Copies of this chain bind each other. A is one copy, B any other.
Amino acid sequence: MYPKNTWYVACTPDEIADKPLGRQICGEKIVFYRGQEHKVAAVEDFCPHRGAPLSLGYVDNGNLVCGYHGLVMGCDGKTVEMPGQRVRGFPCNKTYAVVERYGFIWVWPGEQDKADAALIHPLEWAENEEWAYGGGLFHIGCDYRLMIDNLMDLTHETYVHASSIGQKEIDEAAPTTTVNGNEGVTARHMENIMAPPFWRMALRGNNLADDVPVDRWQICRFTPPSHVLIEVGVAHAGKGGYDAAPEFKASSIVVDFITPETDTSIWYFWGMARNFNPQDQALTDTIREGQGKIFSEDLEMLERQQQNLLDHPHRALLKLNIDSGGVQSRRILDRIIASEREPEQTVVRISQ
């Protein structure tokens, strides 16, 4: 139950630097590699000869060579050659549209004729040298929507991340959720509070006092299929909060790209983009390490929640105001999934 005619993050460039990468995305087993002129390519991870996974092979001269009997697969899914064989009649492999952009490899797992690179979510910070980015990847055994719920309701920080970014004041500040077409936004502002440890570290990283009251904000933006970009930050209290001048605040964007592997497992690309001290690589590393530790605290909760839901398939869950961000995101997704399933002819017929 996920959109397929859309762009997902498939992997990061380092994952295909030395050898092909086999990865299942939306149920499709795909091998990613650098083909001709170092351009990223993606084909079915299945050798048309005897079914070996092509991802166990290697790249030679821009083509993928099967590691079993040497079939040479082209980026177009056609067999280029095979030792001692005429390959013209070999069946074609499915190929997948892939684009390398913003430091990620994006894949379109659905109908290939609909793939349009212009539909990739724009990430301004990724191309702006005043920003720095650091991130990582987790494999988690849960429905991708549970991860969206998690990120669109940050009250969980108070409980799951109590020692780093959580604080009681999050609970106390009711969030506001709005929907703009296919974008769901849930925002929370806290005023005149003490910053929790992670943000004290960030204040120091931006050469700001960490022992004075701050205003804090969290603005979570969901866009399909499963991107959640969260503006987060603290400013010295009374300097304008979210709108404070840069010299009074430490702010960043929490970056979450959630890629379904199966109905109950995901590839979770997480990271943080910041626009203070972007050249400070040591700070980037410190933040990434801290974020990785914090985000790993969600894993057991998500996997056990998934298991509980599988065990209780008919039990309804609550939809509180704090869940509004997740609920609205699911509505947007349901609409998209339904439209993918509905043949266009049917639509026409109904409108007659």
| Per-residue contact bits, chain A 54-67, to B (CB 8 Å; 1 contact, 0 not) | 00110000000111
If A83-B171, A84-B174, A322-B69 touch, whether A45 touches B159 (CB-CB below 8 Å) is no
Closest 8 CB pairs of A and B: A83-B171, A51-B308, A53-B304, A52-B305, A51-B309, A49-B318, A69-B155, A67-B159
Question: Of B83, B90, B320, B322, which is within 8 A of A318 by CB?
Answer: B90
B-side contacts of A155, CB under 8 Å: 69-70, 83-84
Tell me whether B90 and A51 are in contact (CB under 8 A): no
Q: A88 in the interface, Cβ–Cβ < 8 Å?
A: no
Tell me whether B56 and A304 are in contact (CB under 8 A): yes
Q: A149 in the interface, Cβ–Cβ < 8 Å?
A: yes
- CB contacts under 8 Å to B, within A309-334, are 309, 311-312, 315-318, 320-323
Tell me whether A83 and B172 are in contact (CB under 8 A): yes
B-side contacts of A149, CB under 8 Å: 50
Tell me whether B67 and A301 are in contact (CB under 8 A): yes
Tell me whether B301 and A171 are in contact (CB under 8 A): no
Complex Cα–Cα for A165 and B323 (A): 60
- CB contacts under 8 Å to B, within A280-320, are 300-301, 304-305, 308-309, 311-312, 315-318, 320
Q: A261 in the interface, Cβ–Cβ < 8 Å?
A: no
| Per-residue contact bits, chain A 156-172, to B (CB 8 Å; 1 contact, 0 not) | 10111000000000011
Tell me whether A46 and B158 are in contact (CB under 8 A): no
If A51-B309, A158-B70 touch, whether A84 touches B45 (CB-CB below 8 Å) is no
Question: Of B29, B67, B160, B315, which is within 8 A of A67 by CB?
Answer: B160
Tell me whether B318 and A48 are in contact (CB under 8 A): yes
- CB contacts under 8 Å to B, within A20-36, are 29
Tell me whether A85 and B320 are in contact (CB under 8 A): yes
Tell me whether B66 and A159 are in contact (CB under 8 A): yes
Question: Of B90, B160, B308, which is within 8 A of A29 by CB?
Answer: B308
Complex Cα–Cα for A65 and B45 (A): 46
Please list the residues of chain A having a beta carbon within 8 angstroms of any beta carbon in chain B. Answer: 29, 45-46, 48-53, 56-57, 65-70, 82-85, 90-91, 149, 153, 155-156, 158-160, 171-172, 174, 300-301, 304-305, 308-309, 311-312, 315-318, 320-323
Tell me whether B305 and A53 are in contact (CB under 8 A): yes
> Which of A65, A67, A174 has the most chain B CB atoms inside 10 A of its CB?
A67
Tell me whether A56 and B300 are in contact (CB under 8 A): yes
If A45-B308, A159-B70 touch, whether A52 touches B84 (CB-CB below 8 Å) is no
**Cβ distance A188 to chain B, nearest Cβ, rounded Å:** 11
If A172-B83, A315-B46 touch, whether A68 touches B301 (CB-CB below 8 Å) is yes
If A69-B153, A159-B70 touch, whether A84 touches B317 (CB-CB below 8 Å) is no
B-side contacts of A318, CB under 8 Å: 48-50, 90-91
Tell me whether A46 and B304 are in contact (CB under 8 A): no
B-side contacts of A50, CB under 8 Å: 149, 305, 317-318, 323
Complex Cα–Cα for A51 and B174 (A): 22
Tell me whether B70 and A308 are in contact (CB under 8 A): no
Question: Of B51, B53, B316, B321, which is within 8 A of A84 by CB?
Answer: B321
